[in-house]
Amino acid sequence: VGMFTEVDRARIEEHVSLFGEDVWRHTIVVFTWADVLKKISIERYIRREGKDLQWLLEKCKRRYFLINNCIFGENPQVGHLIEKVEKMVAKEGGHYNPEEAKEKKPVDENRNSSKEAEELGAQPKQNSGVGLSKAREVEALSSE
């Protein structure tokens, strides 16, 4: 719970687009820090936050869950969330399959294929003046 801005919406839209449009059918928005709302209902909070949050909820069929972070110990919140996820999966006809989404997604010719991107890895620029041995030393130090 907090301010949800146009920037937040754009970031979510960008990140989720990597999985394909079908991922929205398998998405639940989880609001945390429910105790911050105090006496305001989640529905009122959603209306008050504006069009960007409402857009997000419409994309995932208005599925959301509220968690109170101040409740410790034995609490059914997580169990209820798991139940909600299981119901969503059953209603949507199974789990989300990213491989199916890849098959449906058109390939952008200007971007590297995923195999090409993996092969490129994090290699130093040829004109950077850093020798390959120096780059490997840095890589070895960073992995320790």
Domains, the chain = 6-100 (3.40.50.300), 108-142 (no CATH)
Give counts: helices (H), strands (E), the chain.
Answer: 7, 2
pLDDT digits (tens, 9 = 90+) for 26-61: 999 999 988 888 889 999 999 999 999 999 999 999
What is the per-residue burial (b if ≥16 Cβ within 10 Å, else e) of 16-37?
A: beebbeebbbbbebebeebeee
Cα–Cα distance between 13 and 83 in angstroms, integer? 26
Whole-number pLDDT of residue 60: 95
Conformational region of residue 76, where left means phi above 0, alpha means psi within -120 to 50, and beta covers everything else: alpha
Q: Are 40 and 73 in contact (CB under 8 A)?
A: no
pTM: 0.64
Residues in the chain: 144
Q: What DSSP element (H or E) covers 92?
A: none
Conformational region of residue 101, where left means phi above 0, alpha means psi within -120 to 50, and beta covers everything else: alpha
pLDDT digits (tens, 9 = 90+) for 98-130: 666 555 555 454 444 444 444 444 444 344 444
Cα–Cα distance between 138 and 122 in angstroms, integer? 12
